[in-house]
Amino acid sequence: MRDPGLVRDGAVLVRDGNIIAVGPRRRVTRLSEAPGAKKLDLGGRVVLPGLVDSHTHLVFSASRAAEYEQRIAGSTYEEIARKGGGILSTVRALRRAKPQALKTRVLAALRQFSAHGTTTLEAKSGYGLDIKSELATLRLLNELHQEQPLDIHRTFLGAHAVPPEFHGRADAYVDFLVAKLIPRVALNGLAEFCDVYCDRGAFTVAQARRVLMAGRAFGLVPRLHAEQLARTGATRLAIELDAASADHLEKINPADIRALAASDVVATLLPGCCFHLGIPQYAPARKLLDAGAAVALATDYNPGTSPILSLPMVMSLACTQMRMSPAEAIAASTINPAYSLRRQMHIGSIEVGKFADLAIFDVEDYREIPYYVGVNHCVMTFKRGEVIYSREGT
């Protein structure tokens, strides 16, 4: 992860949306297929693999700016959730939302993602929490995957909160997920992954195990929200179930770090959450990296804890707040999340045979991508060889 594999004065040759050559410009331009190719001079800018955002809660119908203000005034995220705000306020809003307005809103967000260099993302359900709204969310994600250029990988997150109909009956809600919703989701091909919000005030490790095992029996690959607010043992569960990813990890302990490093579970860190919530304890990225864990970064784009859709911004946080190097932050936003989405053969690096998914940054040095914090230097984004975003004047 420390070596970005930099090519100076490089070129990429693309055919039918795939990379067929990459390397020093002088070598690539001598290849027999090069003269016939349409040439695009990127003017010496920095070209990265298209960014891969492996943790988002993409589908929601309204911001929670009022809660943001309450938190600034001193309420905590968990207090607000206990009073029926938090995730449940987004659930109420989503259940009432007009489908067309919702779709327009999500499409606008997707355009913003591509304007910041993202070419593939994972998106979770979890603001519906009943059959109708969960299936509608996953179907909307499928429609968007077909109709716009970014690839969207779907995760079923029915176990995000206990909905009002099951208030005080979390186990009965888990029974419902296992018996009714998971089979419906899986048999209709509506998701690839299954996730659980396993934390203090959310679902227990025992409940998470039931949900993820039921999902796995139907072919849904487990992912897990783990050790964000408290150390619960969720990381151990992720390892036990061979999950694709364990996400958050702010409260992970040293033994968990060793276990995670010895496993194939990707440690997905979401520093946008700590930043937005104003919590100083970021996940121990350095310890995870030094132990040999596969670390990924993601935005956790959601209306409660991380209304952030810029992976370059998340890279800046990773570098300054968690002491990841710029090269590590880039690997953590490209090839490692690609692996956690089981797409490492197709995306996540600029290599022959992979999709020509590229993000172009108007900087002179790749380290300037996290360094110039808060400004979007992505000027062009390609998905499978097509320009899907270009800043005016570039």
Instruction: State the number of binding residues for Fe ion (CB under 5 A).
Output: 1
Could you say whether residue 86 binds ligand NIG (CB under 6 A)?
Answer: yes
Judged by CB under 6 A, which of 197, 275, 366, 382 binds ligand NIG? Answer: 197
Binding at 56: pick from ligand NIG, Fe ion, none (beta carbon under 5-8 Å per type): none
Residue range at the interface with Fe ion (CB under 5 A); choices 3-11, 150-158, 249-257, 292-300: 292-300
Q: Which is nearer to Fe ion, 134 or 300 (CB)?
A: 300
Nearest distance from C-beta of residue 390 to Fe ion, angstroms: 31
* Distance from the Cα of residue 207 to its chain's centroid: 24
In the bound state, the residue with its beta carbon closest to ligand NIG is 304
Out of 128, 215, 304, 348, name the contact with ligand NIG by CB under 6 A: 304
Q: Smaller CB distance to Fe ion: residue 53 or 151?
A: 53
Return the range that interacts with Fe ion (CB under 5 A); candidates 168-176, 208-216, 297-305, 317-325. 297-305
Nearer to ligand NIG, 49 or 337 (CB): 337
- Asked if 282 touches ligand NIG (CB under 6 A), the answer is no
- Taking the complex as a whole, how short is the minimal distance between the CB of residue 157 and ligand NIG, in angstroms? 8
Q: Pick the closer one to Fe ion by CB: 151 or 300.
A: 300
Is 302 among the residues that bind ligand NIG (CB under 6 A)? Answer: yes
Nearer to ligand NIG, 305 or 334 (CB): 305
Partner in contact with 193, chosen from ligand NIG, Fe ion, none, beta carbon below 5 to 8 Å by kind? none
Q: Does 303 bind ligand NIG (CB under 6 A)?
A: yes
Measured from each CB, the residue nearest to Fe ion is 300
Nearer to ligand NIG, 30 or 82 (CB): 82
Cα gap 57→372, rounded to integer Å = 26
**Is 57 a binder of ligand NIG (CB under 6 A)?**
yes
Please, what is the angle between helix 131-147 and helix 99-115, to 10°? 50
Region of 82-90, 180-188, 259-267, 361-369 interacting with ligand NIG (CB under 6 A): 82-90
Q: Which is nearer to Fe ion, 199 or 300 (CB)?
A: 300
Q: Is 155 in the site for ligand NIG (CB under 6 A)?
A: no
Establish if 300 lies at the interface with Fe ion (CB under 5 A): yes
Cα 311 to Cα 381: distance, rounded to the nearest angstrom:
13
Nearest C-alpha neighbor of 207 from the set 152, 215, 320 = 215
Task: Give Cα 209 to chain centroid, integer Å.
Answer: 22
Which range, of 100-108, 187-195, 205-213, 295-303, touches ligand NIG by CB under 6 A? 295-303
**From 82-90, 181-189, 296-304, 357-365, span contacting Fe ion (CB under 5 A):** 296-304
What does the block give as tokens for 73?
Answer: 């005034």
Interaction site with Fe ion (CB under 5 A) = 300
